[in-house]
Amino acid sequence: MSAVLVVGGAGYIGSHVCKELARRGYLPVTYDSLVTGHREAVRWGPFAPGDLADRQRLDDILDHYRPATVMHFAAFTFVGESVVDPGKFYRNNVVASLVLLEAMREHGIRNLVFSSSCAVYGQPQQIPLVESHPRDPANPYGFTKYVVEQMLADFGQAHGLRSVALRYFNAAGADAEHEIGELHTPETHLIPLALAAAMGRGPPLTILGTDYPTPDGSGIRDYIHVTDLAVAHIRAMELLEHASGPGAFRAYNLGAGEGYSVWQVLNMIKEKTGLEVPIVMGSRRAGDVPRLIGDNTLARRDLNWEPQYSSLTNMVTTAWRWMQQCRCS
């Protein structure tokens, strides 16, 4: 059984990828500090606790499991926090990633799938966003993803690293069997925040802007089901496994290629749960744009990937079923 080191595999997306890896016959080894991840989400392979910046611990794990591929999800992700405490993000997201790349080089591991973000693009100059769009991040979080992408390209040129960066749009939904789901502290994503408000587990949902130039005045975003993200990671890994020749860096957008407004999401929640979402009208956040939608043509072509689970109905329904049975607070 081929081992895959999943750095950050105890988190939301990483744990779903581990389940998909195990389903396809791989051995996912979760390397996670549990600073933001959850031990109970590690269910489909061994757990190797450790900090990514701990080179000795990382060397020990690589020696023991000898993975052919590394998947890298370990990052702080809260945009607002990155603005007020950028040093925390540069240490964790950039410096620790350099530790990982140097360890991989010394252990002869050439394949890496990186969890990136559409935040590398910054303010969109066109919609939908394509991979050739200029990268001009608007916050330190986005810039850390940009820097790591550049590191991957440089390590490919210098050391033969083969890597794929997957630029997510808005991850949503939960595992169809309700074994794992979205659980952030604090939570910042629309669907779980709205569901928590409807269930009385959280405060009313604040709608950040109702005067955008969109059909209903609320912002439109591209949502992609977490299971579709997991499948894309497997396809990216398989692309690298079959690659030959010198190192190369590739980047792909992962989105459904269409967008839903805040009001469309809230209406779907009411339809599927029968619950009203209590709301508070707020003003726009600085830097938010009316529409953010990605073009996924390259991922469809090169990864032979097609979103299968990313209807709004399925994203809301799976998130709702997960939250009904989990001990979310």
Contacts of 167 (CB under 8 A, 6+ apart): 116, 117, 118, 120, 121, 131, 251, 252, 253, 254, 294
Contacts for 109 with CB less than 8 Å, ≥ 6 apart: 62, 67, 68, 69, 70
Closest C-alpha to 147, from 168, 120, 115, 125: 120
Which candidate, 149, 154, 124, 153, places its Cα nearest to that of 138?
A: 124
Q: What is the torsion angle, in degrees rounded to the nearest 10, for the CA atoms of residue 216, residue 169, residue 204 and residue 326? A: 140
Q: Enumerate helices (H) and strands (E) in the chain, giving the number of each.
A: 11, 14
12 noted as active-site residue:
no
Six token digits for residue 290: 């009316």
Catalytic residue among 26, 141, 223, 309: 141
Residues marked active site are found at 141
